Amino acid sequence: MSLNRAEIVEHLRQILGAERVITDEQTLRQSSIDNFRKLQNIFGVYTMPVPAAVAMVSSTQEAAAVLAFADEHHVNVVARTGGTATEGGLETPVENSIVLDGSLMNQILSIDAYNMQATAQCGVPLQLLEDRARELGLTTGHSPQSKPIASMGGLVATRSIGQFSTLYGGIEDMVVGCEVVFPGGQVSRIKNVPRRAAGPDIRHIVIGNEGALCFISEVTVKLFPYMPENNIFMGWTLKDMKVGFEVLREVMVAGYKPSVARLYDPEDGQLHFSHFAAPDDCIVLFMAEGNAGISKATAEGIAEIVARHPECQPVESQLIAEWFDDLVWGPDKVAREDERIRTTRNVNRTTEISADWSSINAIYEAALPRIRSEIRGITLLGGHSSHSYINGTNMYFN
């Protein structure tokens, strides 16, 4: 027989203590959703089933005990750390679920400058790990816009990608090893080695599983030298997205690895670059980084490629640097956006696709008019590419 809410709460209190089993109604309502329902949260409208409790675990052993209990009694569990998700993955679709919150597991366990890797518990904010690494002249290379708030466990669980992906890759390219807890409470460790010769690579059972298969308790990621003094910012305006995609393609096929490679269409670009770009301008921009020789060679190679497209007009590098400095979303910026939404009733949503070079411009040209014709009430619709590969690129429609 299934347990009722009171019984679930009582069992959790026996495992964790009463102070770490959260049952106040507002916390439970807010924990029933994620930022996919940001508008509803701002106005206090909650329609998802409310969880029985938020279980604040502080160790792998506690997470294992909660999962063993939940498995035995068939109680649904939703894993959470930083809570920055925007796609509904943190919603509690089943009445009386347990929200397994790992935000108290917030210790950086090691920063190994010799072996170029760092190990952190799941609740460590990425910004904290990055700041500690930078004190040693190192970087994680991972910089999603949620960096000040997002935590390591959730970043791995959601297969996160960051703004420097063209150089460093996505989180799947950075994870060395991890510790996880499976349903039933089994703790497994994927050890930290540079490569695995026998497959399948079981890291990919964990990376991107979104809490459906396991709770990620600890993560080890690669580190890289951090040399911001060598950053070179470059940008150009142009009138045709097709030309911009071709510039991105030529840069990638030539083997250059800028950390940032972006292409904005006019409407999306006006949100960021209206102080220097005309309303019908697209913007293609890059950042080269690394040691001085690599950064210089990368910037020079990109400039040579862009020079083959005379419709591209250069932008002062300082303007791109200023844009770069305002990319991440900390609590203050999130609060300002919440207030804007409360005032305007307008909320932004983004959908990402990826495609090969032959298809990407056709998708872009087909998607915008169809979205405009089929969805009412749109106040802004544009797009940009920010993750490129040798065989294609992505497109965010927002």
Q: What is the pLDDT of residue 1?
A: 61
Can you say whether residue 377 is alpha, beta or left, with left for phi > 0 and alpha for psi between -120 and 50 degrees? Answer: left
Number of neighbouring beta carbons within 10 Å of residue 116: 15
Instruction: Return the pLDDT at 236.
Output: 98
Q: How many Å apart are CA 345 and CA 373, to the nearest integer?
A: 21
Crossing angle for the helix pair 317-324 and 266-273, nearest 10 degrees? Answer: 90
DSSP 151: B
Identify the pLDDT of residue 334.
78
Per-residue pLDDT of the chain (398 residues; tens, 9 = 90+): 689 999 999 999 999 999 999 999 999 998 888 878 888 888 888 889 999 999 999 999 999 999 999 999 999 999 999 888 877 778 888 999 999 999 999 999 999 999 999 999 999 999 999 999 999 999 999 999 888 889 999 999 999 999 999 999 999 999 999 999 999 999 999 999 999 888 889 999 999 999 999 999 999 999 999 999 999 999 999 999 999 999 999 999 999 999 999 999 999 999 999 999 999 999 999 999 999 999 999 999 999 999 999 999 999 999 999 998 888 777 887 788 888 888 888 888 889 999 999 999 999 999 999 999 998 888 889 999 999 999 999 999 98
What tens digit of pLDDT does each residue of 272-288 get? 999 999 999 999 999 99
What angle is formed at CA 152 by the lines to CA 167 and CA 10, rounded to 5 degrees?
165
Token output for 138: 């190192």
Contact 331, 22 (CB under 8 A): no
Q: How far is CA 178 from CA 107, 191, 199, 205, in A?
A: 14, 7, 17, 11
Return the pLDDT at 42.
83
Q: How far is 299 from 95, CA to CA, in rounded Å?
A: 55
pLDDT of amino acid 340? 87
SS3 of 7, please? helix
Domains and CATH numbers, the chain: 5-101 (3.30.43.10), 108-225 (3.30.465.10), 228-397 (3.40.462.40)
